[in-house]
Structure 1
Amino acid sequence: MTFSRQLIFFRASIFVRQVRQMAKLSVRCVPEDDKIQISFEYSHNGGTARIYNSERLKIEELGKTLARIEANIRKVVEKKKKKHKPNSDQHSTEPENGEELVLGLYHSLQKVGDEIPVKDAFTDGAVFKICSTEFVVECNPPTVMSIDLPKSIMAGFPTMPKVQYEFTNLADCTFSWSRMKKASTSGKGGSKNNAEKKKGADSSSDSIEVANTLMYTPPTSDIGYHLKFSVTPCQGEISRNDRRLEEISKVEVTAGPGPCPFETRHLYTSSLTEQGIFRVVTYNILADLYANQDYSRDVLYSFCPPYALELGYRLQLLLKEIAGYNSDILCLQEVDRKVFTGDLLPSLALFGLDGYYKEKGGPVAEGCAIFFRTSKFRCIGQHDIILKDKLETDPSCADLLEKTYLNPLLKEILETRTSALQVLAFESVDCAGHRLIVANTHLYFHPDASHIRLIQGIVALRHVQEVLDMYRQKDKESKVCLVFCGDFNTSPNGSMYEYFTTKQINEDHIDWQNAPEGQRVPNVNVRHNLDLATACGNVPYTNFAKNFYAMLDHIFYDLSTLEVERVIPQPEHEEVIQHTALPSVVFPSDHIAQICELKWKS
């Protein structure tokens, strides 16, 4: 290397080190927003540092933005000046010590003109100066915006924080959990808990780091302690400690409810499935939308302690239960939108699962979710519908529409049913030449609505048949199989179950004849060509309420292409009734997960 090149390299290295050591000015500038946000920390003349935030239109001239920033700094300086010098000239516009504020923005040592739009002025690597203080501009740096820790934390159950972030991924962040005693100060108005502060929290010597993972399961030794969780975003291989955010739990770690019945079932699902076999779970997890109501607390689930109906409590049980099943295909019903996006999707990703959500029609913010193990399956298609929309608009349902909508009362009921059908297509990762169609639904619940559920089932199966036919035509070399899961609100004695497993329902079926007055369906004979059976067999119940129990949840599978390898046993009846009914302190839902292992037929 020549001397001149060495000198250039040396100067560049010095510049890089200087930039890294320089204070940062952060700019948030995204295409969908017509404004930019500017943030920096500044201390004038060695005074207390303060964070200055400014939001300006992207098209605003730089000169106007700098004038606004200068005015904000002057305002703070003058306020401090008046506080410490009450007899000083209150009309002075000079900063402390008479120093004039000089602001400027530089690109490669060249001052940027005042007429330049701020979106073009505040670019990566630009240098912003306030008097002798220099800042390097960072556009859209990795940012952790907020951390939300659960309101209930129990030993032995997973704790998953909700982290909001921008311009980074959780995979590019580092985490730290510490346990600490609650810090408090006494004084007028009672004691205050420093643990409730995100920054400036107690970092006393009794704070002990216990984990470096996103999800943490506290051991019994954490009982009585608060947990501190911190997130540090990374930029490449550099940890951005200057952008670290931490939160301390408002609650102490408490003891759990003791052994849960699902832990016995985990003994059968402790390992992942072998090649050619996949484990299927269907589970109505009881939406918070329904559990968190006065009627639920006072009537439906009056036997269950109110704290055990709280979402924060139930989520801990649900995450431990679901994760322990090590499922390859997981079909959930009654999934709150907020629970899917904020809890299940990020949590189950840590266990190798990805998922999709299909919300019911109408204003209800709950629906179905299908999760799949990414080492077993690859999603190749999504074919979700709202059942009533399919009935009303699809030519394949014209015969059914004609006979059901002739009855005004029946038409009104069907028009207001918002049940969704979620359908995903997968190809097997570990068994080439195999594709799997997975359907998931939650049908109408009313006890006098067997005819409605039958109509919904007919529509659902026609759609599933169309999806199957499409993939079989598209790839004739692959074996295309079907698994249909859900809370069908139908027992093995119901007409919908009969239709699925016997392939037909005739016009004289009792559920057509016994429909409530004004809702009867005349002259409907229906058939399908699928070979369906229920994988888990018939059990006494999958839903156990105080005054009702029945098998409502099913895993139907295609007999011609799949076979049952194993069925995971139900909980013991004594465990179910130990706390009267479901849900309880050890059962997070009023339903029991159905679990089986299927394998491709050779």
Structure 2
Amino acid sequence: MGLCWDREICPLLKNDEEKDRRKRWLDAIENNMRTADVWEVKDQIKWKFRRRMADKLFKRNPMKYFINLSKKIFHIKRKMSSIKLCLWPNYMFVNQAVPPGQTEQQLMITLLSPFKNSKRINLCRSPNDTIQIFIDRLKIKCFQTCDKNKKLGAKSGNFSIKVNEIVVSDNSKCGEIFKQNKSHITLEVDDYVFKVLFNAPMIMKAKVNTPIYEGLMLYPFAFENSYNVSLINSKYIWYKIDAKNEIEVGNGSVYVPTRNDVDFNLKLVINPCNEDGQFGPAVEILTSKVQTNNVDVYPYENRLKIKPDNSIRIVTYNILASMYTRTKEAKNDMFSYCPEKFIASSYRNPLLLKELIAYEGDILCLQEVEIQFFYKELSPFLKKCLGMDGIFLRKCGNKNEGLGCFYSSDKFNLLNQFNIKLNDLITLEVYCGSIIKEILNDEFWKQGLQKKTVLQVLVLELISEKKQIIILCNTHLISDPDGDAVRLFQALIELTIANKIKSLTVNNYPKHKVSVIFCGDFNSTPESGVYDLFTKLSLPAEHRDEKILNNLRNNILFKMNSAYNIDVEYSHFTQSFVGLLDYIYFTDDNLELIQVLSMPSHEDVIRNVGLPSILFPSDHLPLIADFITK
């Protein structure tokens, strides 16, 4: 472990049996870690053992000390990064950008030390700093990389910034010099000359999903602290690493490991490129070993149908936010049948993305989309692979999930969008009128306006000779088991809003045909009343005399059809609830339903008790429908 067991550790243990037990336990920790990790940890352990306070703790309670030590070991392991930035020698990279967590632009500067080429120097400076301030700070950073016996000589070094071989004045502003002289500026340190590249594409941080399973997509994501990078223009190369060499196995942003990759590490090399075709220094990401996947065919593959020409494919899908899989209720009750490794986002997310790509949807309406997943993985991935633009709407309150709508940018133009919170009374009054005041005076119905429900509305123009506009609505109603009446009320509010937006769109685009498509997880079975409201504009018998509900309903000028018949038994299947909760509603005056994709077989759904499972990434099943315009 990098320290003397007999001399340094054994004297602190009480007896031979305890010594032997602790030694076997500590060795087990080391054996379960990668070799690279162990060497990184050795110095940490040695340092901790030699601390006086640690020795005292060890004498008082050896087991407590070992528990704390193991936590430290695995904490270090988790924080280790497998990304390597391959900087170019004799180049200084300067990027002007707003760093994460800040509001003002800064100069992000990266170079290899002139005194020790293996050391990377990073600086974050204000564009308003003078050249003298910048050089003084750079000197300090450079001197810190020197070996002790060389530092004294290094401090006599001469630092200067030159433009066209002329030394820049010490009082010049850094931001102005770097920006105005992009291709003629150099940094000179003694005999070293660094060419300065301004706003070159740089990837400072990225990840790949882990663990890695055979047959599931592997892709880079979370490009934080990256500057001027076009993920579409960048080049990607995947390698399989065996004992002797690296074998190229793929050259796209996405790689699907095969049976031949199992038990091997993979390496991804990204050559970042900007919109102008300029390349920057490459980054290398080393993965964990590929694990075996026993699934040959996923159920969604049996659902696939060819999309008809000139059709519009709509997908609605509650993708199950990871935050809901980590609760005690989820682990002990709702999803207790699903092994932890298959309910983890590291397994579900690649399977979900693989599924979404296979459906080839033109419009995706997603629910329970976590914020980080949307921005770090989902949106960049769908943009890169399917050319889809996405819009996210967060739920009210402190929820870290919400709604996500995606549309094919080569098929639709986004004319307008509306992000509506049902607890925003001022906005609701714009769409629903004075009836909102009546609702607030009713103790029962006003609770429907106190929930965290949101409604996402996109006005999409079809790019074709036909002048067609689609009002796309995406929602996720409350999930309270006793909330049928509240869901009915929320559905009425949302239909009233959609009706108002449709009327405005018809007035603004009188030569266009306007249709409405309403998707989502309505948390309502067909007999609960919401289905009849959408398809018949009728209210349940127990609410037909409610003045508020009737006033809302009378403002709605269109009925809708459901793409799937209600004889579909379920779109949600867990051991605590089974039922049809998800729907695609549409107006049929300008849209014609061509086909829907059949639901997965019941045998596949119950093969692992319920959803999610090794075969399904969510507790819901997606609905997919194809339409053509009339």
**TM-score normalized by structure 1?**
0.82
1:477-535 per-residue CA deviation (whole Å, 9 max, x = no partner) reads: 211111111111111112222111112337xx32579xxxxxxx666423322121111
Whole-angstrom CA distance in 2 between matches of 1:293 and 1:237: 46
1:127 aligns with 2:186: yes
Match of 1:555 among 584, 589, 596: 584
C-alpha contact (below 8 Å) 1:105/1:128 kept by paired residues: yes
1:398–1:55 CA distance, 2 compared to 1 (3 A): closer
Deviation at 1:127, TM superposition (A): 1.7
C-alpha distance in structure 1 between counterparts of 2:144 and 2:375, whole Å:
42
Q: Helix, strand or coil: the match of 1:312? A: helix
Match of 1:73 among 119, 124, 142: 142
- The 5 A counterparts of 1:60-139 are 60-77=129-146, 79-81=148-150, 93-95=152-154, 100-122=156-178, 123-124=181-182, 125-139=184-198
Aligned to 2:61: none
1:165-564 matches, cutoff 5 A: 165-181=226-242, 205-234=244-273, 236-237=276-277, 239-240=279-280, 243-266=281-304, 268=305, 271-275=306-310, 277-349=311-383, 350-389=385-424, 393-398=428-433, 400-408=435-443, 410-411=445-446, 413-505=447-539, 509-510=541-542, 524-525=549-550, 526-527=553-554, 528-538=556-566, 539-564=568-593
Distance 2:533 2:396 in 1: 25
> Is the Cα contact below 8 Å between 1:391 and 1:400 reproduced in 2?
no
Distance 1:78 1:542 in 2: 65
Counterpart Cα distance in 2 of 1:304 and 1:75: 52
| Residues 409-430 of structure 1: per-residue CA shift (max 9 Å, x gap) | 653x334311111111111123
8 Å Cα contact 1:368-1:441 kept in structure 2: yes
In 2 relative to 1, CA 22–590 (structure 1 residues): closer, same or farther, beyond 3 Å? closer
Contact 2:214 2:262 (C-alpha < 8 Å) held by counterparts: yes
Quote the residue 2:112 is aligned against.
Answer: 41
Structure 2 unaligned spans of 5+: 1-87
Give the aligned residue type for 1:551: L
User: How far 1:374 moved relative to its partner?
Assistant: 2.6
Amino acid at match of 2:210: K
- Residues 218, 253 of structure 1: 8 Å contact kept: no
Residue 51 (structure 1) aligns with? 120
1:30 equivalenced with 2:97 (yes/no): yes
Question: What RMSD, in angstroms, separates the aligned Cα atoms of the two structures?
Answer: 2.4
Q: Which amino acid aligns with 2:527?
A: N
Aligned partners of 1:479 and 1:523: how far apart in 2? 31
Change (3 A) 1:272 1:352: farther
Per the TM alignment, residue 256 of structure 1 is displaced from its structure 2 partner at its CA by 4.5
Give the superposition deviation at 1:29.
2.6
Offset at 1:352? 3.0
Amino acid at match of 1:291: T
Distance 1:65 1:328, change over 3 A: closer
- State the alpha-carbon separation in 1 of the partners of residues 369 and 307 from structure 2: 25
Cα distance in 1 between the residues matched to 2:287 and 2:526: 47
Per-residue CA deviation, residues 239-295 of structure 1 (Å, 9 max, x unaligned), is: 44xx100111134243243322111002x2xx44311x2111111111112122232
Q: 1:314 deviation in Å?
A: 0.6
For structure 1, the 5+ residue unaligned runs are 1-20, 83-92, 182-203, 514-520
Once structures 1 and 2 are overlaid, which stretch shifts more, 330-339 or 383-392? 383-392
Counterpart CA distance in 1 for 2:388 and 2:128 is: 44
Q: Following TM superposition, by how much is the alpha carbon of 1:33 offset from its aligned partner in structure 2, in angstroms?
A: 3.2
Label 1:238 to 1:480 Cα distance change in 2 as closer, same or farther (>3 A). closer
Q: TM-score, normalised by structure 2?
A: 0.79
Matching residue's letter, 2:392:
Y
- Structure 2: how far apart are the matches of 1:438 and 1:479? 14
Q: Structure 2: how far apart are the matches of 1:410 and 1:174?
A: 56
SS of 1:457's equivalent in the other structure is helix
Q: 1:229 and 1:253, CA in 2 relative to 1: closer, same or farther beyond 3 A?
A: farther
What residue number does 2:606 align with? 577
Letter in 2 for 1:79: K
Total equivalences in the alignment? 528
The whole-number CA distance in structure 2 between the counterparts of 1:237 and 1:408 is 61
When residues 416 and 52 of structure 1 are mapped into structure 2, their CA distance, relative to the original with a 3 A threshold, is same
CA contact (8 A) 1:156 1:256 kept: no
CA offsets per residue over residues 336-386 of structure 1, 9 Å max, x none? Answer: 111111121122221232221111111101111111223322222112211
